Amino acid sequence: MITQNSDSLSAPLSLPTAVNDLNGGNKLFPVFLKLESLRLVIIGGGNVGLEKTRTILQNSPGTTIKVVGREICSELIRLRNQHHFEIITAPYETWHLDAADIVIVAVNNKQLSAAIRADAKAFGLLVNIADTPSLCDFYLGSIVQKGNVKIAVSTNGKSPTIAKRIKENLQVWLPDDIDTLLENMNVIRGNLDGDFSAKVKALNRITNDMIVAGNYKTSSRRRLLTIAACMLFGFVGVLLVWNIILFYSQAPF
């Protein structure tokens, strides 16, 4: 049990230097949810609701989803037929949030969005309001995935376009055989001796050696390409100078 005297309670809270120095920037805390064990309600059956539903199903296809909308677009109905989630074609009512864990609001109506958010907060639910960062408890960032590697990119709601570009570059950078590397590392981890700390040090050393080796190969290849390019241009330059000399030595003046 932690106890405090009256003097410590009245004293200002002293935060670590790193926290005190964090005056700006992205203060969001990244968390990967086991969404398939939660119940999600999406309010809005239009294109934005469709986009949110697709994103959820692409990442956690077993999630229990309920979509509520006065009108439901045909693409969303086709998606429901493939993944068998619930659709309620009706105007939003508070009871639609019953038994929900997380709420995503995708309606083109600011007053309705604010009302749904108020209902969600009254139930103690986390809520995301599409295109309204100030009313969100969480954001749906751009996601990069290759095999078991998943990276979420956030710009703190400032620029989804930049997040998309970062995602595209990471998608190219990650090797296609990343899962093979992960499986090998998992086998190595299972065969290491020692306590947790010793295993962490061993794994850090192994992965660091892999990165250094990769950088060395990349650097060596770049050096070889640079040398080859310099030799090629140098050879072309010699030929050019030689031909100029021959031309002027044979030209009548």
Q: Are 115 and 96 in contact (CB under 8 A)?
A: no
Each residue's pLDDT tens digit, 103-144: 999 999 999 999 999 999 999 999 999 989 899 999 888 899
Q: What is the pLDDT at residue 57?
A: 97
Q: Are 148 and 182 in contact (CB under 8 A)?
A: yes
Residue 196 has pLDDT above 70, yes or no: yes
Nearest C-alpha neighbor of 67 from the set 101, 105, 29, 94: 105
Binning pLDDT at 50, 70 and 90, where does residue 4 land? very low
Does the predicted model carry a pTM greater than 0.85? no
Q: How far apart are CA 60 and CA 32, in angstroms?
A: 11
Mean predicted lDDT score pLDDT of the chain: 80
Each residue's pLDDT tens digit, 78-109: 999 999 999 999 999 999 999 999 999 999 99
Q: Are 33 and 55 in contact (CB under 8 A)?
A: no
Pairing of strands 64-69, 126-129: unpaired
Burial of 76 (0-12, 13-18, 19+ CB in 10 A): buried
Distant-in-sequence, close-in-space partners of 182: CB < 8 Å, separation ≥ 6: 147, 148, 149
Q: Are 157 and 133 in contact (CB under 8 A)?
A: yes
Binning pLDDT at 50, 70 and 90, where does residue 204 land? confident
**φ, ψ for residue 144, nearest 5 deg:** -110, 130
